[in-house]
Chains A and B, each alone.
Chain A
Amino acid sequence: MKRHDPKTLKRSPPTPVSSLPKAVTGIQGLDEITGGGLPLGRPTLLCGSAGCGKTLLAMEFLVRGAVESGEPGVFMAFEESTGELAANFASLGYDLEGLVARKKLLLDHVTIDRGEIEEAGEYDLEGLFVRLGYAIDSIGAKRVVLDSIEALFSGLSNTAVLRSELRRLFGWLKEKGVTAIVTGERGEHSLTRYGLEEYVADCVILLDHRVEGQMATRRLRIVKYRGSNHGMSEYPFLIDEGGISILANTSVRLKYEACTERVSSGVPDLDAMMGGKGYYRGSSVLVSGTAGSGKTTMVAHFAHAAAARGEPCLWFAFEESSSQIIRNMRSVGIDLEPAVRNGTLQLHAERPSICGLEMHLLTMHRLVNQFRPRVVVVDPVTNFSALGSEAEVKAMLTRLIDFFKVQQVTALFTELTDGAALAEATEVGVSSLMDTWLLLRDVQNGAERNRVLHLLKSRGMAHSNQVREFLLTDHGAELREVYVGLSGDLLTGSARNALEEQEKAQALVRYQETAGKKRDLERKRQAMEAQIAMLRAEFEVDQAEAAVIIDEAEATAQVVAGDRNQMARRRQADPTVLEETPRQPLGKSL
């Protein structure tokens, strides 16, 4: 029996702690609804039609009391023999015989065969009191179940005596201080066929097993609980190998912690659209889209990435079988099989029509409580819409989302939208509950349909508002830029490719034009430099010629001056005149 221990149930009491002492039942959900259990030391009436789980709930109360609370219990059965009880409960994993052997439990089968009874005068039911008293005292019982005491009415005819004796019995049970469950068959116009509710005033629980639209749902309701707050609604419950689990939605309130940690979506391009980090941990993500738009691939990426990080992932598949999902995802390069094999990823494939909405919710609760995943995939939620009205489906999904949030589970939901409907109206009307909403859409261009992705919203983070083309390749999903054509249409697929080619060609032309200009310029530069070189050469020639002329002129001048000096010395001329004669060479000033 792998269950919540009562301590974890006590952790978040949904109702204010009442002063009324209570006996913890240990039954999943019941202690939450009743604010801690059944009234301690008082009888509780458990009524419902045949086969709705009265005996099971009553027995689970005793077994859990004996095992978890150390309170021995007496089960007085008016309908089934002790052997039948032991056999029936063995299939639920309850070892009644072992508990009986350890004096934790006492089973007493009361048979009343009207055929062998003759009533001849006054009587009372003291025999029952003595039996029960003896049973309680022999094991020190704190809990008692009478299932179903109404059998007395079919065995004995004096109802006046029975009624007064039942009144006495319930008073006597209170005196004994035992916490008792008395079961009663549902009557047509009253809670029980014989009006046991008249006698049991403290707590009345009604079980119901209804079939709506071919779906059977078990429900539990606390009709009354004197002196204590209690949940008023009808709570669906489930009977399986772990016993009873009641979906106590009272525990779901908008009180969860908002996590700031981010987890990758498994698609790097998509992470980039969300600031490069991905979704918030514990957030709810809706991936909606038309048929074949890649919703499952999108969530498979996420599941695959989570499993790769070693985070347990639970996948509820309502459309495809597990092996079909694995095969299909492998075709886009996402291999989920290793994660399934090592137990990180659990796939639960079921047709939604297998049971009602609330049973689905309960099953999911149970699996999440057992497996404790960090990541949950529900693919798709749309299939629930066949199971109830829009309001019911929305209520169920709200509870599911809140439950995931409380558990800090990041949840991805896929939703199939009708191609004809407005793309941004979700079929089940849950978008407002979601933190992040991805819309995958088919866009038709010419003779093609191509996928585009919109990130419609993502609460609490900066995110890209770009529409991206969404490609499914053999190595997973890829996001591409989307082109907008001249007419304002989105261009995707080959239209986008064509535009890309056109742009490439234009770029080539531009490149070529530039290159030509560069070459022209180079040519001009070279021409200019050649001219400069030529001018310089001419100049150098001129200069050289000029130098020669100057040298010759200076030499001539010296010769002339030398001649004049010689003449003067010969003529005895004034020396000062001779000194005044400049001696500088003329060519130097050039």
Chain B
Amino acid sequence: MKTIVTTDAANATPTTSVDEPDPTNYVLRLYVAGTTQRSTRAIVNIKKICEEHLQGHYDLQVIDIYQQPVLAGGEQIIAVPTLIKKLPPLLRRIIGDLSDHDRVLIGLDLKPTR
């Protein structure tokens, strides 16, 4: 498990935290705007979900768009917080403070759609 709050655009490129290639490896980016309560809630929520469901095979970066405004454009961020699932394929955006765990799991394809 590795959580990085990046301050540099170059670091935003996905890097896997596990050495061996794993087809089930998750690359996640969480975009937040500053250190609001909502941002903090989202960070806490995603960490909890990752630990519960993806332990050992996920890469999560938290990016503050105030510090990386150019990424807000590049990554098509409108709503914050936005969690982007870059890998595995089928890019998904999960917006909100991630307090609805069921919907987060659906978004991460860890639970079938109702």
Is B42 an interface position by the 8 A CB rule? yes
Is A257 an interface position by the 8 A CB rule? no
Tell me if A125 and B78 are in contact (CB < 8 A): yes
Q: How far is the CA of A135 from the CA of B95 in the complex (A)?
A: 23
Tell me if B93 and A131 are in contact (CB < 8 A): no
Among A112, A118, A128, A155, point to the contact of B103 (Cβ < 8 A). A118
Stretch at the interface among B6-14, B18-26, B50-58, B67-75: B67-75
Tell me if A122 and B96 are in contact (CB < 8 A): yes
Interface 1/0 per residue, B90-112 and A, CB below 8 Å: 11111111111101101100000
Output the least CB separation between B112 and chain A (Å).
13
Name the interface residues of A121-164: CB closer than 8 Å to any CB of B: 121-128, 130-131, 133-135, 152, 155-156
Is A117 an interface position by the 8 A CB rule? yes
Tell me if B77 and A131 are in contact (CB < 8 A): yes
Task: Evaluate whether A127 and B80 lie within 8 angstroms (CB atoms) in the complex, with A118-B95, A121-B42, A134-B69 already known.
Answer: yes
Tell me if A118 and B69 are in contact (CB < 8 A): no
Among B72, B97, B106, point to the contact of A121 (Cβ < 8 A). B97
Specify which of B45, B70, B76, B82 lies most central, judged by the most chain A CB atoms within 10 Å of its CB.
B76
Tell me if B80 and A121 are in contact (CB < 8 A): no
Q: How far is the CA of A125 from the CA of B81 in the complex (A)?
A: 9
Among B33, B41, B72, B92, point to the contact of A118 (Cβ < 8 A). B92
Is A119 an interface position by the 8 A CB rule? yes
Among A108, A116, A133, A135, point to the contact of B92 (Cβ < 8 A). A116
Specify which of B31, B33, B97 lies most central, judged by the most chain A CB atoms within 10 Å of its CB.
B33
Among B33, B76, B93, point to the contact of A126 (Cβ < 8 A). B33
Is A559 an interface position by the 8 A CB rule? no
Q: For residue B94, which residues in chain A have a CB less than 8 angstroms away from its CB? A: 117-120
Among A116, A120, A131, A135, point to the contact of B100 (Cβ < 8 A). A120
Is B4 an interface position by the 8 A CB rule? no
Q: How far is the CA of A491 from the CA of B72 in the complex (A)?
A: 90
Is B62 an interface position by the 8 A CB rule? no
Output the least CB separation between B66 and chain A (Å).
7
Q: How far is the CA of A128 from the CA of B79 in the complex (A)?
A: 7
Q: How far is the CA of A554 from the CA of B90 in the complex (A)?
A: 174
Tell me if A122 and B38 are in contact (CB < 8 A): yes
Tell me if B93 and A118 are in contact (CB < 8 A): yes
Q: How far is the CA of A341 from the CA of B45 in the complex (A)?
A: 79
Tell me if B76 and A135 are in contact (CB < 8 A): no
Closest 4 CB pairs of A and B: A121-B96, A118-B107, A127-B77, A134-B69
Nearest-neighbor residue (CB-CB) of A162 within chain B: B79
Q: How far is the CA of A123 from the CA of B98 in the complex (A)?
A: 9
Q: How far is the CA of A499 from the CA of B82 in the complex (A)?
A: 102
Tell me if B100 and A130 are in contact (CB < 8 A): no
Tell me if B92 and A127 are in contact (CB < 8 A): no
Among A111, A118, A121, point to the contact of B76 (Cβ < 8 A). A111
Is A285 an interface position by the 8 A CB rule? no
| B interface majority secondary structure | mixed
Is B65 an interface position by the 8 A CB rule? yes
Q: How far is the CA of A120 from the CA of B101 in the complex (A)?
A: 7
Is A27 an interface position by the 8 A CB rule? no
Task: Evaluate whether A130 and B65 lie within 8 angstroms (CB atoms) in the complex, with A118-B92, A123-B95 already known.
Answer: yes
Task: Evaluate whether A128 and B78 lie within 8 angstroms (CB atoms) in the complex, with A121-B98, A122-B38 already known.
Answer: yes
Name the interface residues of A464-483: CB closer than 8 Å to any CB of B: none
Tell me if A116 and B93 are in contact (CB < 8 A): yes
Tell me if B72 and A127 are in contact (CB < 8 A): yes
What residues make up the interface of A, taking CB atoms closer than 8 Å to B? 108, 110-112, 116-128, 130-131, 133-135, 152, 155-156
Output the least CB separation between A108 and chain B (Å).
6
What residues make up the interface of B, taking CB atoms closer than 8 Å to A? 31, 33, 38, 41-42, 45, 65-66, 69-70, 72-73, 76-82, 90-101, 103-104, 106-107
Among A108, A116, A123, A152, point to the contact of B96 (Cβ < 8 A). A123
Tell me if B80 and A134 are in contact (CB < 8 A): no
Task: Evaluate whether A122 and B99 lie within 8 angstroms (CB atoms) in the complex, with A127-B33, A130-B65 already known.
Answer: yes
Tell me if B99 and A120 are in contact (CB < 8 A): yes
Nearest-neighbor residue (CB-CB) of A76 within chain B: B73
Q: How far is the CA of A128 from the CA of B41 in the complex (A)?
A: 20
Task: Evaluate whether A118 and B104 lie within 8 angstroms (CB atoms) in the complex, with A127-B77, A128-B78, A131-B77 already known.
Answer: yes
Output the least CB separation between B100 and chain A (Å).
4
Tell me if B97 and A123 are in contact (CB < 8 A): yes
Task: Evaluate whether A121 and B78 lie within 8 angstroms (CB atoms) in the complex, with A108-B73, A126-B33 already known.
Answer: no
Nearest-neighbor residue (CB-CB) of A106 within chain B: B73
Tell me if A134 and B72 are in contact (CB < 8 A): yes
Q: For residue B79, which residues in chain A have a CB less than 8 angstroms away from its CB? A: 123-128, 156
Among B33, B66, B78, point to the contact of A152 (Cβ < 8 A). B78
Tell me if A131 and B103 are in contact (CB < 8 A): no
Nearest-neighbor residue (CB-CB) of B95 within chain A: A123
Among A121, A125, A126, point to the contact of B45 (Cβ < 8 A). A121
Tell me if A135 and B78 are in contact (CB < 8 A): no
Tell me if A123 and B80 are in contact (CB < 8 A): yes
Tell me if B76 and A110 are in contact (CB < 8 A): yes
Q: For residue A135, which residues in chain B have a CB less than 8 angstroms away from its CB? A: 73
Output the least CB separation between B93 and chain A (Å).
5
Output the least CB separation between A145 and chain B (Å).
16
Specify which of B33, B78, B104, B107 lies most central, judged by the most chain A CB atoms within 10 Å of its CB.
B78
Tell me if A124 and B93 are in contact (CB < 8 A): no
Q: For residue B95, which residues in chain A have a CB less than 8 angstroms away from its CB? A: 117-120, 123, 156
Task: Evaluate whether A127 and B78 lie within 8 angstroms (CB atoms) in the complex, with A117-B95, A118-B93, A121-B98 already known.
Answer: yes
Nearest-neighbor residue (CB-CB) of A121 within chain B: B96
Output the least CB separation between A339 and chain B (Å).
57
Q: How far is the CA of A111 from the CA of B76 in the complex (A)?
A: 7
Q: For residue B76, which residues in chain A have a CB less than 8 angstroms away from its CB? A: 110-112
Q: How far is the CA of A121 from the CA of B70 in the complex (A)?
A: 25
Q: How far is the CA of A354 from the CA of B86 in the complex (A)?
A: 54
Q: How far is the CA of A241 from the CA of B112 in the complex (A)?
A: 53
Tell me if B73 and A131 are in contact (CB < 8 A): yes
Tell me if B82 and A127 are in contact (CB < 8 A): yes
Task: Evaluate whether A126 and B80 lie within 8 angstroms (CB atoms) in the complex, with A118-B104, A119-B95, A121-B97 already known.
Answer: yes
